[in-house]
Chains A and B, each alone.
Chain A
Amino acid sequence: MPVQGIRAVTTARNGVGAFILPCKRLDFHYCDWAGSSRGMVAFLKNTLPSFAKANPQIEIRVSPRPHKHPVIKGHYINGREKAVCVRNLEPEQIFQKANLLKEASGEKLKRTKKPVTSINESVRGIWSPYHGDLKSV
Chain B
Amino acid sequence: MRCQARTTTHVTGCLDEPPNGNHETFLKVAEVRNSCHTTAMRPSLRLLNLEVSSLQGSRTLYVCSVCRQEARPRPLVARQFLRNASNATPITERVRRKIWGTDNPPGLKDPYGGEGVLERKFKKDQPARQEEEPENLAQTSEQTQVENEAELASAEAYEPATTWEGLQRVGHLGRWSDLPPSEADAYESFMLKKKVTKKGQLSLAAHQAAVEVSLMHSLNKPLSKVCDVVEHDKSVFKMLWKCKIQPGEWKQAVVYPSKEAEKALVYIFEQIGGQPESAVAEETAEEVEEAVDESKWEDLVAEVNDSNVPFFGYADVRDKGFLSLSLSDPATKFAFLKRFSQLSGHYLPDPVVHSVATVGQVVEYVQSVLNPKPKKLADYLANSQGLQNLPNVKVFTKKQKPMDRDEELGRKKVIEAELRSRGLIDQKCKRYQH
Partner of A66, one of B380, B384, B399: B399
B392 interface residue, CB < 8 Å from A?
yes
B381 x A53 contact (CB < 8 A):
no
B398 interface residue, CB < 8 Å from A?
yes
A62 x B386 contact (CB < 8 A):
no
A2 interface residue, CB < 8 Å from B?
no
A9-17, A40-48, A82-90, A111-119 - interface stretch: A40-48
Query: What secondary structure prevails in chain B residues at the interface with A?
Result: loop
For A41, the chain B residues whose CB sits under 8 A away are: 377
Q: Chain B: which residue is nearest A56 at the CB level?
A: B392
A100 interface residue, CB < 8 Å from B?
no
**Complex Cα spacing A61 to B397, Å:** 11
State how many angstroms separate the Cβ of A105 from the closest Cβ of chain B: 20
B381 x A63 contact (CB < 8 A):
no
A35 interface residue, CB < 8 Å from B?
no
**Complex Cα spacing A63 to B401, Å:** 10
A77 interface residue, CB < 8 Å from B?
no
For A32, the chain B residues whose CB sits under 8 A away are: 375-377
A104 interface residue, CB < 8 Å from B?
no
**Complex Cα spacing A74 to B215, Å:** 66
For A65, the chain B residues whose CB sits under 8 A away are: 399
**Complex Cα spacing A64 to B393, Å:** 14
Asked whether A59 and B399 contact (CB < 8 A) given A30-B377, A64-B377, the answer is no
For B381, the chain A residues whose CB sits under 8 A away are: 44-45, 62
For A58, the chain B residues whose CB sits under 8 A away are: 392
Within 8 A of B (CB), among A52-97: 52-53, 55-66
B390 x A53 contact (CB < 8 A):
yes
Q: Chain A: which residue is nearest B404 at the CB level?
A: A63
B interface size (C-beta, 8 A): 20
State how many angstroms separate the Cβ of A7 from the closest Cβ of chain B: 32
Q: Chain A: which residue is nearest B378 at the CB level?
A: A64
Query: What secondary structure prevails in chain A residues at the interface with B?
Result: mixed
A59 x B392 contact (CB < 8 A):
yes
Partner of A49, one of B380, B386, B391: B386
B387 x A52 contact (CB < 8 A):
yes
Partner of B396, one of A45, A55, A64, A66: A64
Partner of A60, one of B377, B392, B397, B399: B392
B376 x A52 contact (CB < 8 A):
no
Q: Chain A: which residue is nearest B395 at the CB level?
A: A62
For A63, the chain B residues whose CB sits under 8 A away are: 395-396, 398-400
B396 x A61 contact (CB < 8 A):
yes
For A53, the chain B residues whose CB sits under 8 A away are: 390
**Complex Cα spacing A55 to B387, Å:** 13
For B392, the chain A residues whose CB sits under 8 A away are: 52, 55-60
Asked whether A44 and B377 contact (CB < 8 A) given A63-B399, A65-B399, the answer is yes
Asked whether A45 and B380 contact (CB < 8 A) given A52-B393, A56-B392, A60-B394, the answer is yes
State how many angstroms separate the Cβ of A58 from the closest Cβ of chain B: 7
A62 x B393 contact (CB < 8 A):
yes
A-facing mask of B360-386, CB < 8 A → 1, else 0? 000000000000000111101100101
For B397, the chain A residues whose CB sits under 8 A away are: 64
Q: Chain A: which residue is nearest B400 at the CB level?
A: A63
**Complex Cα spacing A44 to B393, Å:** 11
Within 8 A of A (CB), among B383-434: 384, 386-387, 390-400
For A59, the chain B residues whose CB sits under 8 A away are: 392, 394
State how many angstroms separate the Cβ of A45 from the closest Cβ of chain B: 7
State how many angstroms separate the Cβ of A10 from the closest Cβ of chain B: 29
For B377, the chain A residues whose CB sits under 8 A away are: 30, 32, 41, 44-45, 64
State how many angstroms separate the Cβ of B290 from the closest Cβ of chain A: 59
**Complex Cα spacing A3 to B238, Å:** 101
State how many angstroms separate the Cβ of A36 from the closest Cβ of chain B: 14
**Complex Cα spacing A55 to B390, Å:** 10
For B394, the chain A residues whose CB sits under 8 A away are: 59-62
State how many angstroms separate the Cβ of A68 from the closest Cβ of chain B: 9
Q: Chain B: which residue is nearest A25 at the CB level?
A: B392
For A44, the chain B residues whose CB sits under 8 A away are: 377, 381
Asked whether A62 and B390 contact (CB < 8 A) given A30-B377, A32-B377, A41-B377, the answer is no
**Complex Cα spacing A55 to B392, Å:** 9
Most buried by B among A30, A45, A49, A56: A49
Asked whether A49 and B390 contact (CB < 8 A) given A32-B376, A63-B400, A64-B378, the answer is yes
State how many angstroms separate the Cβ of A107 from the closest Cβ of chain B: 24
**Complex Cα spacing A4 to B378, Å:** 61
Q: List 8 A-B contacts (CB under 8 A).
A: A32-B376, A41-B377, A44-B381, A48-B393, A53-B390, A62-B393, A63-B395, A63-B396
Given contacts A41-B377, A57-B392, 11 further A-B contacts (CB under 8 A): A32-B375, A45-B384, A48-B393, A56-B392, A60-B392, A60-B393, A61-B394, A63-B396, A63-B400, A64-B377, A64-B399
